[in-house]
């Protein structure tokens, strides 16, 4: 380009200095202003390997799931309290679980106050190189509660400013995700973590994926999708109607439906749409918001349908009646979020502008919210024998937290320099010999922190049913495990889902006017958990812990999966098959 550079490739410092250069001080100024990309704001190199589990002092177990345990721990480096979520590696036929890779990759890229931060990865090595597999932990800030646990706590009653405050934060987080073209695909109360500073964070990206369409625009709802995605996502109770009807070209609107469900749940103190099967789920959705027509859900009749059912009894919906105590602006926002037409369902940008947040009482500020005692899944499981049905989890997460949200945890951000973490095998840390992950959801709680008595909200548990669900259900226990661990949180609300005990889906599909409100009759019927032979149900098994817990109790600790009974092996096969579906 310039004469002096016609010998292009020998650029000596002299050659460069021949060109007119800005005064040195300008260069230095520019350099000073340049943000070094290779360092975090805390000065740590961004290129680093895993830290060691020995850098953490384990304080107790917070939760346990098919895909891993969650522990509370304190960093020995900086004293921060964190949650460690174990990534279990089953014998995967495709190597390192894609869901784990995806979740970690996404979390590492995200940075928003309302998204749970992945501080680092920690690794637990065992003695004897190569003999045992290393175990990985995702390290995240410790959060005191998850929303579903908080709602379970009978001592906690949300005020309207508080609900508005949480909703604003939730919508901010969702807006950030969607703006950055990420579908969360497992929006639910159990995946929303809350700390005692009143901050809400979205967790569990085990099902999340990159979204190939344009991000939502103001006033345009979720837009349209041009490509297919798997419909095997989102925990059933939070699954939108278009997914239940098998729309594959779905949009960010699927997350907004979940936000609506969470919104209603904050008022009611329990999930508002707790279906016991996919078909039942769509029935109670239509009970609540009305049945689909070409006006309110254009194109619905061309969808494959829910379990091949495509006609539904006409009804008008009971939303306004059900939430009449919440006032018109709340009902208005709820109606926008729970809109059948996914194209018109409100997006996060517009929801943040909804008059609901501008009418009295105004939203609280996070710092003004009351503090609560820790609510973790394990705390809530005190009466787990009373546990009722379980919430179906989506299949996805092979990643440590699995589909549930109990990744509640901890918080800290300690990261040592890459170099200091030897990649080579070292001695064993304090965790060596720690019982190998059985993938079960824990029954006991490691922390002795104050536990609130969790007596179910308002109904008397049936004594006869105080045994754990798996014990009551005998062989059906396995199916019962299809419910999500969130269920276990519901332990004290035993009977809440009793109405779902029907084995015959056709019964549940018979429209019941108010069936979205569970009646609390006792259920002592082992068949209440319908055995669904469908793949989807099988899939849920993976996510539920109670099955694994049973397994854990019935066999010596440390037993490996490969020795498990044949039934489990066959489950594993199904699982592998299912996993393929998740790839995309």
Partner 1 sequence: MTGYSPPSNLSNPLATIEQLSTSTSQLDGIPADLELSVRFVGARLTQAAGILLRLPQDTVAQAIVIFYRFWIGAGGGSLKDHDAKDVSAAALYMMAKLSPYPQTPRNVLNVYSYLLSDSSNLLSPADSKTRDPEAYYLSEGTYYSQRTQLFQTERKLAFAMGLQTHVALPYTIAINYLQALDTFGQPKSNALAQRTFAHLNTALLSPQMLYLTHQPPALATAAIYLAARELDIKLPDDNWWEAFDTDREELGFLVVGMRSVEGFAVSEKEKWGRRSVPLTVEAIDAELEARRMLENGE
Residues labelled catalytic: 186
The Cα 317–Cα 315 span in angstroms is 6
Q: Is the separation of the CB atoms in 44 and 36 below 8 Å?
A: no
First-residue to last-residue Cα distance in the chain: 47
One residue of 59, 83, 89, 297 binding partner 1 per CB under 8 A: 89
The Cα 195–Cα 140 span in angstroms is 13
Rounded to 5°, the CA angle 362-368-373 comes to: 125
Among the listed ranges 90-98, 278-286, 310-318, 527-535, the one in contact with partner 1 (CB under 8 A) is 90-98
Closer to partner 1 by Cβ: residue 49 or 335: 49
Q: Cis before residue 449, ω within 30 degrees of 0?
A: no
Query: Please, how many CA atoms are within 13 Å of residue 530, restricted to the half-sphere of its CB?
Result: 25
> Mask 329-368, x = binds partner 1 (CB under 8 A)?
-------------------------------------x--
- Assigned token pair, 576: 């592998």
> How many other CB atoms sit within 10 Å of the CB of residue 254?
27
Closer to partner 1 by Cβ: residue 114 or 281: 114
Q: Is the separation of the CB atoms in 67 and 398 below 8 Å?
A: yes
Closer to partner 1 by Cβ: residue 37 or 557: 37
Among the listed ranges 20-28, 148-156, 302-310, 313-321, the one in contact with partner 1 (CB under 8 A) is 20-28
Closer to partner 1 by Cβ: residue 155 or 365: 365
Closer to partner 1 by Cβ: residue 98 or 309: 98
The Cα 578–Cα 404 span in angstroms is 18
Answer yes or no: is 85 a known binding residue: yes
Sheet holding 145-146, edge to edge: 145-146, 192-194, 200-202
The count of chain residues that interact with partner 1, using the rule CB under 8 A, is 63
Q: Does 401 bind partner 1 (CB under 8 A)?
A: no
The Cα 335–Cα 222 span in angstroms is 15
Q: Is the separation of the CB atoms in 167 and 258 below 8 Å?
A: no
Go through the chain and tell me how many residues it has.
584
Q: Does 398 bind partner 1 (CB under 8 A)?
A: no
Distance of closest approach, residue 27 Cβ to partner 1, in angstroms: 7
One residue of 157, 420, 463, 521 binding partner 1 per CB under 8 A: 420
Residue labelled with tokens 């519901």: 490
Distance of closest approach, residue 435 Cβ to partner 1, in angstroms: 21
Q: Does 194 bind partner 1 (CB under 8 A)?
A: no
Q: Taking the CA atoms of 102, 103, 108 and 112 in sequence, report the sign of the dihedral they define.
A: positive
Among the listed ranges 23-31, 78-86, 369-377, 555-563, the one in contact with partner 1 (CB under 8 A) is 23-31
Q: Does 563 bind partner 1 (CB under 8 A)?
A: no
For residue 141, the SS3 value is strand
One residue of 104, 202, 259, 266 binding partner 1 per CB under 8 A: 104
Q: Is the separation of the CB atoms in 134 and 125 below 8 Å?
A: yes
Distance of closest approach, residue 33 Cβ to partner 1, in angstroms: 10
**CA–CA distance from 125 to each of 101, 130, 421 (Å)?**
20, 9, 12
Residues 147-176 that bind partner 1 (CB under 8 A): 168-169, 172, 176
Residue labelled with tokens 């306004």: 320
Among the listed ranges 33-41, 295-303, 464-472, 534-542, the one in contact with partner 1 (CB under 8 A) is 33-41
Closer to partner 1 by Cβ: residue 449 or 580: 580
One residue of 4, 18, 47, 321 binding partner 1 per CB under 8 A: 47
Among the listed ranges 95-103, 141-149, 213-221, 288-296, the one in contact with partner 1 (CB under 8 A) is 95-103
Q: Does 110 bind partner 1 (CB under 8 A)?
A: yes
Q: Does 220 bind partner 1 (CB under 8 A)?
A: no
One residue of 5, 455, 471, 531 binding partner 1 per CB under 8 A: 5
Distance of closest approach, residue 449 Cβ to partner 1, in angstroms: 29
68: left (phi over 0), alpha (psi -120 to 50) or beta: left
407: left (phi over 0), alpha (psi -120 to 50) or beta: beta
The Cα 81–Cα 364 span in angstroms is 27
Q: Does 581 bind partner 1 (CB under 8 A)?
A: no
**CA–CA distance from 101 to each of 66, 112, 120, 209 (Å)?**
18, 20, 14, 11
Helices marked H in 137-223: 147-152, 160-179
Closer to partner 1 by Cβ: residue 93 or 555: 93
Closer to partner 1 by Cβ: residue 240 or 439: 439
Residues annotated in a binding site = 85
Query: Binding residues for partner 1, per CB under 8 A?
Result: 1-2, 5, 8-11, 13, 16, 19, 21-22, 27, 30-31, 34, 37-38, 45-50, 89, 92, 94-96, 98, 100-102, 104-105, 108-114, 120-121, 123, 133-134, 136, 168-169, 172, 176, 180, 366, 417-424, 583
Residues annotated in a binding site for ATP = 85
């Amino acid at each position: 380009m310039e004469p002096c550079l016609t010998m292009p490739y020998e650029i000596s410092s002299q050659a460069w200095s021949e060109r007119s250069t800005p005064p040195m001080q300008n260069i230095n100024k520019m350099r000073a202003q340049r943000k070094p990309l290779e360092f975090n704001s805390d000065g740590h190199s961004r290129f680093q390997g895993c830290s060691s589990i020995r850098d953490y002092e384990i304080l107790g177990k917070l939760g346990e799931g098919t895909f891993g345990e969650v522990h509370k721990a304190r960093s020995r480096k900086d004293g921060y309290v964190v949650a460690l979520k174990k990534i279990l590696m089953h014998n995967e036929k495709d190597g390192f679980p894609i869901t784990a890779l995806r979740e970690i990759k996404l979390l590492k890229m995200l940075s928003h106050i309302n998204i749970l931060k992945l501080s680092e990865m920690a690794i637990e090595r065992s003695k004897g190189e190569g003999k045992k597999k290393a175990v990985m932990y995702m390290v995240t800030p410790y959060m005191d509660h998850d929303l579903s646990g908080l709602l379970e706590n009978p001592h906690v009653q949300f005020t309207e400013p508080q609900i508005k405050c949480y909703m604003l934060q939730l919508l901010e987080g969702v807006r950030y995700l969607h703006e950055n073209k990420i579908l969360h695909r497992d929006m639910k109360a159990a995946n929303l973590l809350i700390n005692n500073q009143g901050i809400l964070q979205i967790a569990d990206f085990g099902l999340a994926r990159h979204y190939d369409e344009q991000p939502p625009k103001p006033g345009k709802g979720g837009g349209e999708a041009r490509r297919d995605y798997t419909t095997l996502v989102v925990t059933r109770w939070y699954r939108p109607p278009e997914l239940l009807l098998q729309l594959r070209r779905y949009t960010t609107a699927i997350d907004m439906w979940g936000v609506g469900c969470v919104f209603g749940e904050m008022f009611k103190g329990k999930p508002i749409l707790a279906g016991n099967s996919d078909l039942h789920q769509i029935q109670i959705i239509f009970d609540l918001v009305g049945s689909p027509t070409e006006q309110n859900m254009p194109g619905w009749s061309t969808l494959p349908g829910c379990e091949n059912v495509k006609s539904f009894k006409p009804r008008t919906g009971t939303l306004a009646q059900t939430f009449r105590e919440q006032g018109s602006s709340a009902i208005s926002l709820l109606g926008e979020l729970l809109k059948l037409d996914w194209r018109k369902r409100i997006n996060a940008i517009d929801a943040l502008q909804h008059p609901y947040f501008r009418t009295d009482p105004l939203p609280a500020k996070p710092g003004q919210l009351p503090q609560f005692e820790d609510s973790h899944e394990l705390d809530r499981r005190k009466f787990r024998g009373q546990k009722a049905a379980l919430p179906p989890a989506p299949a996805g997460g092979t990643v440590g937290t699995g589909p549930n949200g109990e990744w509640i945890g901890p918080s800290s951000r300690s990261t040592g320099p890459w170099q200091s973490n030897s990649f080579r095998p070292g001695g064993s840390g304090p965790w060596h010999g720690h019982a190998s992950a059985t993938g079960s959801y824990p029954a006991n709680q490691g922390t002795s922190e104050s536990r609130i008595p969790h007596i179910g909200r308002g109904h008397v548990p049936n004594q006869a049913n105080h045994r754990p669900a798996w014990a009551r259900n005998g062989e059906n226990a396995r199916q019962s495990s299809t419910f999500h661990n969130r269920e276990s949180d519901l332990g004290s609300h035993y009977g809440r889902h009793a109405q779902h005990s029907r084995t015959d889906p056709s019964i549940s599909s018979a429209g019941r006017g108010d069936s979205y409100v569970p009646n609390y009759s006792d259920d002592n019927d082992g068949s209440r958990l319908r055995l669904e032979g469908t793949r989807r149900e099988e899939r849920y098994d993976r996510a539920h812990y109670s099955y694994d817990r049973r397994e854990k109790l019935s066999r010596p600790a440390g037993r490996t999966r490969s020795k498990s009974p044949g039934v489990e092996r066959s489950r594993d096969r199904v699982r592998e098959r299912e996993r393929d579906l998740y790839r995309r």
